[in-house]
Structure 1
C-alpha cells in the first residue's frame, strides 16, 4: 500500500470524528513514530511530513555518510558506497536524506498502524468527552430517550453522546418512552475502563435549584438567592429563598401570581409539592416557617444537641407532621435541627382528637382504613369492638390493638 492511499484511509477518521487538523496530524505523527521505533529502534533521525487535508505524507530518514566498513549504527549511518547509489556525488561526513515508503515497514506493521490510530482517536474522543461533561456537572441537560431498561434509561444527546439515567435517580412517577426528551442535571462522570459514563439525575436537590434558576428570572439574575433545597423526590420539597433587596418579595416572586411561575417546576417534577419559604438567620423563626402550613405556638431550642421541641395546638399537629411525616422530616433537614412535636395540653374527657393528628405514630393507610367506615376521630375508634373492626376493615387484629393502645395513651396522658 502506498503512502497516499494509506493516508487517504486514515483521513476518513477526520471526517467521521470531526477532529481538527492539528490534532489529527499530532495523532498520525505519534502513531508513525511508534512504528518507526519498532522497526529501526529509534525515530530520532526521521522527519515526518503529513498533510491530511490533501491525503499525502512523507517519511524521510536522515543518516551521516561514513567510509565503507566503518558503519557502527545502521539507523543513523550509511556507508559511502550505499550513499552513492542514492546520489553519485556524496562524500564522507555529508548528510543523506532518503524517503521511506510505508510498504518497507511490512504489511503487519501497517495493520498495526491502523489499529493503533483507531485506539488513539478513541482515546482522544473519550478524553475530550470526559472533560466536556466534567465541566457540565451540576448543570441542567436535555437528552432523548434511546432505550428503556429495568435499571436505567439510556439517553442520547444531539451529538450522539450516551447518558445514563439510573432507576434510583428517577422520580418515582417518571415514565419514559423512546423518543421522549428528558431533563435532569449531570450529576457525575465516571470512567468505565477508558470510556466515560455520564450519569444524569432528576432526584438531586441541585436539579430543583437549577430549575428555579431557569424558570424564575430574579433567581437567574441573582436578585433572589436559593439558600437551601431539601426534597423527597416526587412527594414534597422545601426551598428557602432570600433577597438582599427589601423591595423584592422572594417567595412571591418564586411562586408567581396564582402559582404561575412554580407550576412548570411542579409539573416537571411529577407534581412534587413545593413549599417556598423566606430564609432567615433567626433559628426559631426559620423552624416556624419550615413547619408551614402548621402554626407553631412556641419553640424550645437545644443548640448543643441541635434539637428543638416544637409546641403546637392539637389541631395543628397533623399539619406540622404532614402526610407520611414528610413535612416535619423536610423541616428538620432544611433547618438542621431534629424536631420533636409537643402537643399543648391534653383533651378533656368530652373532647375528641382527629385520627390524622396521630400520623406520626399510626401509618396513613391504617388511618384511611378507619376513615372508609366513617371512623375519623380517636373516640370513635375507641368506642368500637375490636372483633367488629376486624370484620369491617382490612386490618389485622394486632394492628387494631396497637392503634387502640396509642389512642388510649393519648387520653390517659
Structure 2
C-alpha cells in the first residue's frame, strides 16, 4: 500500500501537464529503472508493472535459486534456504520472482526518484514546447506583458508559456505596461540548456508582411501577392505588391478608401510611414515607383554593377532622399540597386556650392543636420522655406537664418 501515495502524486503530473498515458508510463518506468540500477547495480532482471490511472505499481525481481553458500551475485541469485522462505518447494536452478516494495529502496532513494520524475516530465514538456513554437516561426502571435525589463519585455501567453521580446526587436516608439497585449511574430526558438527560449520580434519585415495578410482580405486570399517588404522600424517602410488579376488594383486594395485599410497596420507599427507600390519587372519603372513621392526625370542603369544614376530636378532631390535618407535607402533595398542621385538644373542652378565648402563659417554638425533631410548644397537650402526647415530639422530658427545669410552672401558676391 505504500506505493499508492507515491503513484497518486505521479498521477497529478498527468492531469497538470496533460501528458498522455503511454508517455507517462514510459517516463515512470525509466525513472524506476534508474533507481533500481543505483540500488542493485542492474535492472535487467526486474519487471515493472505500472497503472497510473488506477494509482498502483508493482516491481518484481527475478533470481535463480542456487545452493546455500554459492551465491555470487545477490541481485541475480538467491540461496535455496532464502528461496524456500518464499515458497517451501523451490529447488536449485528454478526461477524465483519476488516483489520489491518501494520502501526497500530507502527514503532518500524515493525522494531522488520523485525529483528525477519531475525533471523528466519538465524535459518532456520543454521538448514539446520547442517543437510547438518551431512550427510557429514566422507567424503572428499575441501575448500579455508580464514583466518589463531594461533589455527585454517578458510576455506570457494563455497557456502560461514565457516569450521574450528583446529591446532590439521592439519598435523605437514601443511602450509597454504590465497587462498589455502585444503582437509580433515568433522569430526564433532557442534552447537555453534544456529550456526553450521563444523570441518575438516587432521589427522584422515578416511582421509587416503578416499584418498585411491579416488586415487585407485580398492578400490573405492570394489575389494580391507581396513581392518584397523593406522597412526602417518605426520610421518608414516600402511594400511592393502585385496581382495576377487585371481587375484588381493591388495598391488601392491594400491602402483602402482614404487609407482605411492600412491605417490599422500603421497604428500597430507606431505610426510607421508605409509606401505601397506596384511591383513591375521593368527595372526603370520599378526604381521610379520606389523613389515615390519624388518625380524622376530619367534613369541610367548599370546592370553589371547593380547601380543606377537617378536624374532629378533640384526641387525633387529632397523628396527622393527623404528625412534622414530613409526614402532612398529603402528604395535601394526594395529594388536591389545602389541609387546615385544626379541633380538637373539650369545654368544658375549649376553654379551651386556644396555646403561642406562653408565649413569655415558653418559648424559641421549644422551641415549634417541639413544633409539628413537631403540638403547638401547652398541652393538646396536657399530654395526651402525657413519655417519648413525649422520643422524638418533639429535647428533653431535663429541658426537657420544665420546659415541663409551666409549662403546668400556667397551668391551676391
- Report if the CA contact (8 A) 1:50-1:58 is conserved: yes
- Report if the CA contact (8 A) 2:234-2:270 is conserved: yes
Deviations 1:268-297 (A, max 9, x none): 111111111111122111111100111111
Q: Distance in 1 between matches of 2:78 and 2:392?
A: 105
TM-superposed CA distance for 1:351, in Å, is 11
The match for 1:5 is 5
Deviations 1:343-400 (A, max 9, x none): 1124527999999999999999959999999999956977999999999999699997
Distance verdict in 2 for CA 1:387–1:201, change over 3 Å:
closer
TM-superposed CA distance for 1:11, in Å, is 2.1
TM-superposed CA distance for 1:257, in Å, is 2.0
Moved more, 375-384 or 274-283: 375-384
- Report if the CA contact (8 A) 1:163-1:199 is conserved: yes
TM-superposed CA distance for 1:151, in Å, is 1.5
TM-superposed CA distance for 1:222, in Å, is 1.7
Q: Distance in 2 between matches of 1:410 and 1:225?
A: 52
Moved more, 30-39 or 191-200: 191-200
Q: Distance in 2 between matches of 1:71 and 1:11?
A: 39
Distance verdict in 2 for CA 1:78–1:342, change over 3 Å:
same
Q: How many residues align?
A: 413
SS of aligned partner of 1:54:
coil
Distance verdict in 2 for CA 1:375–1:149, change over 3 Å:
closer
Distance verdict in 2 for CA 1:30–1:158, change over 3 Å:
same
TM-superposed CA distance for 1:193, in Å, is 1.9
Moved more, 214-223 or 368-377: 368-377
SS of aligned partner of 2:350:
coil
Moved more, 3-12 or 148-157: 3-12
Q: Distance in 1 between matches of 2:238 and 2:360?
A: 19
Distance verdict in 2 for CA 1:220–1:51, change over 3 Å:
same
Deviations 1:164-211 (A, max 9, x none): 111111111111111111000011112222211111110100100111
**Aligned-pair RMSD on alpha carbons?**
5.2
TM-superposed CA distance for 1:147, in Å, is 1.1
Deviations 1:72-130 (A, max 9, x none): 32222222222111111223332221100011111111111111111111111111111
The match for 2:294 is 294
2:329 aligned with 1:325: no
Q: Distance in 2 between matches of 1:126 and 1:173?
A: 33
The match for 1:60 is 60
SS of aligned partner of 2:347:
coil
Moved more, 326-335 or 190-199: 190-199
The match for 1:407 is 407
Q: Distance in 2 between matches of 1:188 and 1:373?
A: 36
Q: Distance in 1 between matches of 2:347 and 2:189?
A: 57
- Report if the CA contact (8 A) 1:266-1:272 is conserved: yes
Q: Distance in 1 between matches of 2:153 and 2:11?
A: 35
SS of aligned partner of 1:349:
helix
Distance verdict in 2 for CA 1:385–1:92, change over 3 Å:
closer
Moved more, 375-384 or 31-40: 375-384
- Report if the CA contact (8 A) 1:323-1:359 is conserved: no
- Report if the CA contact (8 A) 2:314-2:380 is conserved: no
- Report if the CA contact (8 A) 2:324-2:372 is conserved: no
Deviations 1:37-78 (A, max 9, x none): 111111111111111122111101112223333333222222
Moved more, 92-101 or 43-52: 92-101
Distance verdict in 2 for CA 1:292–1:99, change over 3 Å:
same
Distance verdict in 2 for CA 1:370–1:232, change over 3 Å:
closer
TM-superposed CA distance for 1:212, in Å, is 0.8
Q: TM-score, normalised by structure 1?
A: 0.86
TM-superposed CA distance for 1:215, in Å, is 1.0
- Report if the CA contact (8 A) 2:312-2:344 is conserved: yes
- Report if the CA contact (8 A) 2:63-2:75 is conserved: yes
TM-superposed CA distance for 1:163, in Å, is 0.7
SS of aligned partner of 1:153:
strand
Distance verdict in 2 for CA 1:93–1:294, change over 3 Å:
same
Distance verdict in 2 for CA 1:406–1:270, change over 3 Å:
farther
The match for 2:252 is 252
Moved more, 137-146 or 57-66: 57-66
- Report if the CA contact (8 A) 2:323-2:373 is conserved: no
Distance verdict in 2 for CA 1:56–1:391, change over 3 Å:
closer
TM-superposed CA distance for 1:32, in Å, is 0.4
Q: Distance in 1 between matches of 2:159 and 2:151?
A: 24
Deviations 1:241-292 (A, max 9, x none): 1122222222122112222211111111111111111111221111111001
